[in-house]
Amino acid sequence: MDTTDWFLTSAERGNPHTDIAAWCEGNLIEPLVHGAAYFDALAAEIAACGPGDHVFFTDWRGDPDENLRESGPTVAESLCAAAERGAIVKGLMWRSHLDKLQYSEEENRHLGEDVERAGGEVLLDQRVRFGGSHHQKLVVIRHPAAPERDVAFAGGIDLCHSRRDDERHLGDPQAVRMSPRYGDHPPWHDIQLRLRGPIVDALDATFRERWSDPAPLDVLSPVAWVRDKFSGADMHPDPLPDRPSVPPVCGPHAVQPLRTYPDAHFAYSFAPNGERSIARGYTKAVKRAKRLIYLEDQYLWSRQVAHMFAEALRDNPQLHLVAVVPRFPDVDGRFALPPNQIGRHKAVEACRRVSADRVHVFDVENHVGTPVYVHAKACVVDDVWACVGSDNFNRRSWSHDSELSCAVLDDTRDERSPRDPSGRGDGARVFARDLRLRLLREHLDRAADGSDDDGLVDPDTVVQVLDETARALDEWHAGGRVGPRPPGRLRVHQPERLGVLTRLWAGPAYRMIYDPDGRSYRDRIKGVW
């Protein structure tokens, strides 16, 4: 397999101003499914940090009182303890919108205050396009005296309330307010990667680029500038320690860091025209799809993204698209709900117009019937290329906000049949196939050890298994839930139906507010990422 068949070359990334490697080989990557698994691993790694070690993090939201384990420590306690032991703790949090708009301005500010009192430094970063956000979820831990211990975590899980759920999907005891359809403790499905090897250095460089960017942190907010002046907020990042040596090779995985930075109203020094390598990376991989695209996504609601999948379905008559999405948006209300609904409806219908019988969209519930909020952002193509990150399958994530994802290619072939599902000679790869099967085992109530994978490996039979399992659960609900509950947690996702008048106003609101375009007008006209 030629790596450049799947990964972007340096030129294809479209951002010659970054020094991030196109990809890194010799890594060991482990998916941590669910926030409880991620938080437990993170707490252990931070607890092992001592004098001179580095703990760098970026996040969309950080709640200082969120427990990393049931008995603690909290996010703030963990980071503060590391700083007090002499570790160099640095963080970049999105400044965020007002709490009154159900965002996290105060939470992010309080986390920074706690860490700074302990000797660390956390900055509120508003260097975004107007109406945008910093959405990257990254923690980089370096041990300059022992680089073999270096580790990074990247994916879709924020350091905040509602994320610490597990495979039972009973929700985090510390919950954020969402649509009441998800209950008081919304069940939450999510994924984060634990990364070791040379890729840690590339992700370290990603943090350093943003930290050292000379643009003012409050470049777009005069109100924030005045508030920060009066409150004495730290608006000038201190220098970072020297970048440690690259961690040694430790595994069979090649990893490509993919990012989104908008073509903003100001210029990032490391991406003056923005970067859309996430969009380009997905586009390249999806064009190679022959048999099965499996994805989990919070939104899946952009027309441009849907057209990419529709073209792949049109060009490859054996290709199936399987998508696992939330049953309902996370918001509710007369004005907030319809724009969230209309985007997904259009995206799914664009794919189904090509071949309705090859598009399979499901949502998830726990064993008591409460919908599970799917916050994961993951994709597996033909059991070869896999990607996990912070970006959703929409225009906002691919052009407007800052995002970070990691695509993975495994040197190790998977010997289970079919050994080469696409027929291209690439073979199935262990990491990609194991990730897909691990997620499906949970959704279908199959044995976690893989001893009950009948029908799940082959692309043809897996779509039959998924459709039959979901229909059986739908019929059980429709029949009044009489008799034993059928195995599995998937339900056939029912597309939203909106009236003509609602579509007239919700469509423009969706395009302008919920799914804006962060590309230059030149790129929009050309239709390129």
Could you tell me the CATH number of the domain that includes residue 446? Answer: 3.30.870.10
HEC-encoded secondary structure of 372-433: CEECCCEEEECCCEEEEECCCCCHHHHHHCEEEEEEEEECCECCCCCCCCCCCCCCCEHHHH
Answer for the pair 217, 127: CB distance below 8 angstroms, yes or no. Answer: yes
Within this chain, do residues 228 and 309 fall inside the same structural domain, yes or no? Answer: no
Within this chain, do residues 249 and 300 fall inside the same structural domain, yes or no? Answer: no
Within this chain, do residues 197 and 293 fall inside the same structural domain, yes or no? Answer: no
Distances (CA, A) of 125 to 218, 220, 355: 7, 10, 44
Closest CA to 29 of 190, 280, 165, 200: 200
Within this chain, do residues 206 and 326 fall inside the same structural domain, yes or no? Answer: no
- What the block records as the tokens of 526 is 């050309």
| Structural domain count, the chain | 2
The interaxial angle of helices 337-355 and 303-315, nearest 10 deg, is 10
- What the block records as the tokens of 398 is 């691919």
Q: ∠ CA(484), CA(489), CA(495), 5° rounding?
A: 120
Within this chain, do residues 466 and 431 fall inside the same structural domain, yes or no? Answer: yes
Is residue 250 a part of any domain in this protein? yes
Q: Which residues lie closer than 8 Å to 492 by C-beta, 6 or more apart?
A: 361, 362, 467, 470, 471, 474
> What is the helix (H) or strand (E) element at residue 211, kind and residue range?
helix 199-212
Stated pTM of the model:
0.95
Closest CA to 293 of 355, 366, 371: 355
Residue 159 to residue 102: CA distance in whole angstroms: 16
Is residue 524 a part of any domain in this protein? no
Which of 254, 283, 304 is the last residue before a domain boundary?
Answer: 254
Q: What is the pLDDT along the chain (529 residues), one digit of tens a residue?
A: 899 999 999 999 999 999 999 999 999 999 999 999 999 999 999 999 999 999 999 999 999 999 999 999 999 999 999 999 999 999 999 986 444 444 456 666 789 899 999 999 999 998 999 889 999 999 999 999 999 999 999 999 999 999 999 999 999 999 999 999 999 999 999 999 999 999 999 999 999 999 999 998 876 666 666 666 666 667 789 999 999 999 999 999 999 999 999 998 888 999 999 999 999 999 999 999 999 999 999 987 788 889 999 999 999 999 999 999 999 999 887 767 888 788 888 888 899 999 999 999 999 999 999 999 999 999 999 999 999 999 999 999 999 999 999 999 999 999 999 999 999 999 999 999 999 999 999 999 999 999 999 999 999 999 999 999 999 999 999 999 999 999 999 999 997 778 888 888 988 888 888 899 999 999 999 999 9
Within this chain, do residues 249 and 283 fall inside the same structural domain, yes or no? Answer: no
Answer for the pair 7, 23: CB distance below 8 angstroms, yes or no. Answer: yes
Distances (CA, A) of 445 to 62, 481, 483: 32, 18, 18
How far is C-alpha 225 from the geometric centre of its chain's CA atoms? 30
Within this chain, do residues 464 and 346 fall inside the same structural domain, yes or no? Answer: yes
Distances (CA, A) of 357 to 12, 319, 468: 34, 11, 13
Distances (CA, A) of 371 to 107, 114, 366: 27, 35, 6
Within this chain, do residues 238 and 124 fall inside the same structural domain, yes or no? Answer: yes
Q: Print the domain residue range for 246.
A: 3-254
Phi, psi of 14 (to 5 degrees): 80, 15
Is residue 264 a part of any domain in this protein? no
Burial 400-417 (b: 16+ CB within 10 A, else e): bbbbbbbbbbbeebbebe
Within this chain, do residues 311 and 225 fall inside the same structural domain, yes or no? Answer: no
> What is the helix (H) or strand (E) element at residue 225, kind and residue range?
helix 222-231
